[in-house]
Copies of this chain bind each other. A is one copy, B any other.
Amino acid sequence: MDPEIWFTEKYGNNVGLTFKVKEILNTQISKYQRLDIIDTYEFGKVMLLDGLVMLTQKDEFVYHEMISAPAVMSLKNRNKALIIGGGDGGTARELTKYDFDKIIEVEIDEVVVENSKKFLDFTACGYNDKRVEIIIGDGVEFVKNTNEKFDLVIIDSTDPFGAAEGLFSGEFYSNVYNILNNDGIVVAQAENPYYNPDWFLKSRRNMQKAFGLNTLNYCAFIPTYPSGMWLFSIGYKNIDLHDYFNEELYKKNANSYKYYNSQIHKACFALPQFVLKLIK
């Protein structure tokens, strides 16, 4: 009998999600982190960074649809989009569904991009589109120095330490504000409120420093992320986020979604009472 190999991601010290591994496809130490690509029985291919689940083939659709579609449906213009992080290509894949002229992705770690292209075609297919330009570099520096303006900025980062720490800071969001067009929108993954309320609050509060009252949070069910409840922070400039829903664009793309739909578009902003209390 073959040995049973189980991977466990601990959420803090006292709880974790554990799942059975079919095969370890690759392990690589980059300048920034350790990357593992594993094949699993329940979730298909899984990418780990520093031992944390970044995506699984089974449920990545939730994260990637939900970090992009709610914002896209509220955009007045779709000229340029910027992705910070997102090296697996899943967020780029989602944005290529729409008629953006240009999608720039700034990923700090080329090892993530390379491994995604090699092992995770279901997300890396986002890179096949000619409108997608990958820049290997530091997102913090990029938003500080670029002269370009964007309609949409998506912060598709790891947790707020190590390489991604700067992506949760107030200064970063103030720079994001500056590179957004007047009716622009920023979305960031914002952790979970059950095990890591402080990380969530850091994301929200620092976005709020730049976007003030135009900062909201919404949520989605992601089984392989800690607690299964994932939050996103969304900031917007001189628009009312809930004032406009691009019905035509939605109808054109409705069949492509496995999670998002027009009801979820509104409902995802309803936060449980304990989360509202956290952000008061």
Closest to A21 in B: B14
B residues in contact with A20, CB < 8 Å: 13-15
**Chain A interfacial positions (CB closer than 8 Å to B):** 8, 12-20, 40-43, 58-59, 62, 194-195, 219, 221-223, 227-229, 257-261, 263-264, 266-274, 276
Contact B259 A270 (CB under 8 A): no
A15's contact among B13, B17, B274, by CB below 8 Å, is which? B17
* Contact yes or no, A272 B14, CB < 8 A: no
CB contacts (< 8 Å) of A222 on chain B: these are: 228
Copies of this chain present: 2
Given contacts A223-B227, A228-B229, contact A194 B273 (CB under 8 A): no
Contact A43 B18 (CB under 8 A): no
In the complex, the 4 A-B pairs of residues with the closest C-beta atoms, listed nearest first: A228-B228, A267-B270, A267-B267, A14-B41
A-B contact pairs, 13 of them (CB 8 A): A8-B18, A15-B42, A16-B18, A62-B272, A221-B227, A223-B228, A223-B229, A261-B270, A263-B269, A264-B270, A266-B270, A267-B269, A267-B270
Q: How far is the CB of A259 from chain B (nearest CB, A)?
A: 4
Other A-B contacts than A195-B223, A264-B273, 6 sampled, CB-CB below 8 A, are: A14-B19, A16-B18, A221-B221, A259-B273, A266-B267, A267-B268
What's the nearest-Cβ distance from chain B to residue A15, in Å? 4
Residues of chain B within 8 A (CB-CB) of A259 are 272-274
Who on chain B is nearest to A222 by CB? B228
Minimum distance in angstroms from A9 CB to a CB of chain B: 10
